[in-house]
Structure 1
Amino acid sequence: MMLFPPNLKKNDLILIISPAGAVSPCQLSYGISYLHDFGFRTEEGQYLYHQEGPFAGTDKERASDLQWALDHTEAKAIWMARGGYGTIKCLPKVSWERFVQHPKWIIGFSDITVLHQKLYQLDIPSIHAPMITQFQEAKAPVDQTINLLKGERNSITWKTSTISLPKEIVGQLIGGNLSIIQSLRGTSLDLDYEDKILFIEDVDEYHYHIDRMVENLSYSGILDKINTLIVGSFTMIREGNPPMPYSLEDNLKRLSQYHNFHLILDAPIGHIEENHPIILGSNIKLSIEDQKVTLNYMD
């Protein structure tokens, strides 16, 4: 059974760290002020504004901020500053023992999928949502994320181009960034896919690379285990020369027939302004009518 962290209320403390890419104070000032306007307090990691190459400080510094945030007994949430790359380098250097005793919400996406998968192993839900650097262009999704933190379970409705879906699908929601999911295959952070609803999204990848990752899901048997695949935004897909002879959607439709899983396309989640938040690890109900999908939480 998943252990949900406590809901947030006014004056609760949110910690801000960046276990991956480097950030500057000006990139975070709007988002931090926005949280203050909602009545939350914030604290920043000691090394938040450090930089080493593309990273927010050395591996040791980023891990130190992550450990500080995980161990914090007063804070109710850890909101990631940005994604990029580097979160996986922090994992061997931190302990989750105190966090499990005082669980808090972890919020972010993209490279933060590493932490989402770790939390899945710990049976603690987390929120796939915009990060602090994105608050200005993603106000509506940020407001929805804050509602989730306060215990208000927003539904999400979108049109899907997939056909032949049942009227209702129920299951546990897992997933995140496809490249990160692929990179963690065969590790202790790999997911249990049996009868799950798997969500995937990605950004700035070659079409053939996405195709190769999808074929891994197929050939490894994962697509035989899941009951549903939700496909979010795949933005800035790059084509090789010559380009792929079919689209990602057409290939997924073919695979859904071969492996017999439900395919739901066009979810407004991922590297887009309309990046709706979702609670990974939660049990959800998908209601389908007239090619519209509504996601509701059951927890």
Structure 2
Amino acid sequence: MLQPQSLQKGDTVGVIAPASPPDMKRLYQAIPFLENLGLRVKLGKHIENVHGYLAGTDAERLADFHDMIQDDTVKAIIFARGGYGTGRIASNIDFDLIKKNPKIIWGYSDITYLHTAICQKAGLVTFHGPMVASDVADPDFDDISSASFQQLFEPTTLTYSEDISPLETLVEGKATGELVGGNLALLVSTLGTDFEIHTKGKLLLLEDIHEQPYRIDSMLNQLKLAGKLEQAAGIIIGDFADAKPKHEPSLSLEEIFTHYLGGLSCPVMAGFKIGHCFPHFAVPFGVEATLSTEKKSLVINPGVQ
């Protein structure tokens, strides 16, 4: 896996919206945070465009992405928000261009599709972390989420322990493998495509938001039937925000996770504040990590060089 170069004070970062349109007021409110990190900000040409539920047409969003990739002055791409739409541009991404211009790519949620595609097609480490308009501008944006950006400035081994949040063991064990995954709905949407998530021997992170328990059940069932769960070396259950049933009766999330993950032969641990939550602990994808239920920890190798 290619590791992008770390950021230096004075570097320029590009901000684009490859999925849904951002709230521009919130985006401009968040830019000072990046500037206070010592960074300059360059906005995509089409970031203010709106095309239905998309931030511009597929061609416009793809153009902004390619422009930032090939711009030598831009050292990192930090997405404005998720929503929906990255899967629509994945098949037209120039992955050779990414290989020739490896740089930091940072976001989550709908960006999961890009993480998976880029990691598998370009072999580049990417970052699952808070986005500019949807997270940095949020009044609840906290110190842990803010500190996550520091891993971009120097190679940093990350350790997630119960100092951050309580962790629950579903299956005991220890496993080391490449960290992959992200948003459950987006991972399921890759199945049967050229970008189908690879989980064999890997640590699989799962998170989501606004999904009812029966929907989470359905998506885990699809991953199970596709062989993706049993192939994994370990499962990391991130945050499942607002996963409330609209109709009763319902299975609980704990019952669902136990049903699909409790019988696996690999370690499974839940409670990680990774996802649509605060704090939001940012992690690199495509690097080696170790999950230990005995130590109740997730240790992740640096994402930058």
How would you bin the TM-score normalised by the shorter chain? over 0.9
Alpha-carbon offset, residue 182 of structure 1: 0.4
Stretches of structure 2 that go unaligned for 5 or more consecutive residues are none
Q: Which residue of 1 aligns with 2:148?
A: 145
Query: What are the within-5 Å matches in structure 2 for residues 72-83 of structure 1?
Result: 72-83=71-82
**Higher-RCO chain (CA-CA 8 Å, sequence separation at least 6):** 2
- The alignment status of 1:130 with 2:122, answered yes or no, reads no
Q: CA RMSD in A?
A: 1.8
Are residues 238 and 254 of structure 1, via their aligned partners in 2, closer, same or farther at CA, if it must alter by over 3 Å? closer
**Matching of residue 202 in structure 1 with residue 208 in structure 2:** yes
2:286 pairs with 1:278:
no
Partner of residue 268, structure 2: 263
State yes or no: 1:192 paired with 2:194.
Answer: no
1:39 aligns with 2:46: no
Instruction: Note the C-alpha offset of 1:8.
Output: 0.5
CA contact (8 A) 1:228 1:261 kept: yes
Contact 2:171 2:266 in 1 (8 A): no
TM-score, normalising length from structure 2? 0.91
User: For 1:110-121, what aligned pairs fall within 5 Å after superposition?
Assistant: 110-121=109-120
Q: Secondary structure at the match of 2:256?
A: helix
Farther off after superposition, 36-45 or 145-154: 145-154
The answer as to 2:180 corresponding to 1:174 is: yes
Query: Is the 8 Å Cα contact of residues 267 and 291 (structure 2) preserved in structure 1?
Result: no
* Contact 1:231–1:267 (8 Å) recurs in 2: yes
Alignment counterpart, residue 157 of structure 1, candidates 161, 167, 170: 161
Alignment equivalent of 2:236, drawn from 215, 218, 230: 230
Q: 1:71 to 1:298 in 2, by over 3 A?
A: closer
Which residue of structure 1 lines up, in the alignment, with residue 247 of structure 2? Answer: 241
Report the Cα offset of residue 73 of structure 1. 2.0
Post-superposition offset of 1:234:
0.6
Identity %: 29
Structure 1 residues 271 and 298, CA, compared in 2 at 3 Å: closer, same or farther? closer
CA positional deviation for 1:142: 4.1
The letter of the residue matching 1:131 is: M
Distance 1:258 1:222 in 2: 14
2:23 corresponds to = 24
